[in-house]
Structure 1
Amino acid sequence: MAKQVAMGAMMKCSFGAAPSALAVLPANKVLAEGPPAANIMDHVPMVNILPFGACKSLANPAVKAATIAAKGVLTPMPCTPVTPAPWTPGAATVTIANVPALDDVSSCMCQWGGTISFTSAGTVKTMIP
């Protein structure tokens, strides 16, 4: 069963070098085991989704330029997430602020080709049916 995602949930990016924690603003006034609960609209880069260390995607212009400068040797550069679309699929039966709640089986795509997923939901007991 999926778990509700809350502030502090740990994420990974398929092109990132390090994990990152989800930041959830308390605007929706819903808590999950203490911290603010997330919905699928909590995907804003540098607000909700913070960098994942170094990026290894050649679709990222900074990585591509550094790799070209290094004569074709892949050269990771600092991660700058670009997530234009919400998390998918989200919870089918639970909403927060009239938007599907975010569960730990959802993922988000970065414009540079990475898939962002959860390694920890930030909750233990709150299950979503």
Structure 2
Amino acid sequence: MPPLVVMGAKIGCSMAVPPAPSGSLIVPPMNKVMGCNQPAANIMDNVVGKNIAPFPLCQAKANPTVIAATAAALGTPTPAACVPLFPAPWSPGASQTMIANQPALHAGCTLNCAYGGTVTIAYAGQATIQVS
């Protein structure tokens, strides 16, 4: 069973520059479930600006800011500001553990950006509570 994800979990994107985990998941206490004294996350905690801050730079060729920066550099691939777009929630989520009527978020979940990046969880924010 993977660990439950809580506030402060370390996340990273495959298209971020650098690709190493560089962000923290923000989980407001409105889910009303705590894990190791931190708010616990569910699969719907995927909102840019509320739960996930943009990563520093993006190198995804489908990202409009990367397209513009590459065009300005006369075709030289150029990373640009990250403005992620998540059309779907984290997947797959816990099959048996629910938080605020949604599957709990666990360390094995991923989040796909519309521009081609995949956000993964490098550290769940705690290692004591496991979910299924």
- TM-score (norm. length: structure 1): 0.96
Structure 1 runs (4+) deviating above 4 angstroms are none
Which runs of no fewer than 5 residues in structure 2 stay unpaired? Answer: none
- Which residue is equivalent to 1:63? 66
One of 18, 33, 37 as aligned partner of 1:34: 37
Aligned to 2:12: 12
Q: Counterpart of 1:83?
A: 86
Cα deviations by residue, 1:78-118 (Å, 9 ceiling, x for unpaired): 11111121000000110001110000100011111100000
- For residues 77 and 123 of structure 2, the distance between their equivalents in structure 1, rounded to whole angstroms, comes to 30
Deviations 1:29-81 (A, max 9, x none): 11110110000000011111111110101100110111011111111111111
- Count the aligned residue pairs: 129
Q: Which amino acid aligns with 1:30?
A: V
Cα distance in 2, alignment partners of residues 123 and 37 from structure 1:
10
Q: Following the alignment from structure 1 to structure 2, what is the Cα–Cα distance between the partners of residues 113 and 26?
A: 30
Aligned partner (choices 42, 46, 50) of residue 47 of structure 1: 50
CA contact (8 A) 1:7 1:24 kept: yes
Which blocks of at least 5 consecutive residues in structure 1 are unaligned? none
Residues in 2 aligned to 1:46 and 1:17: alpha-carbon distance in whole angstroms: 19
Give the Cα–Cα distance (whole angstroms) in 1 for the partners of residues 25 and 94 of structure 2.
17
Confirm whether residue 106 of structure 1 aligns to residue 123 of structure 2: no
> Quick check: 1:94–1:100 contact (8 Å CA) kept in 2?
yes
Provide the identity percentage. 46
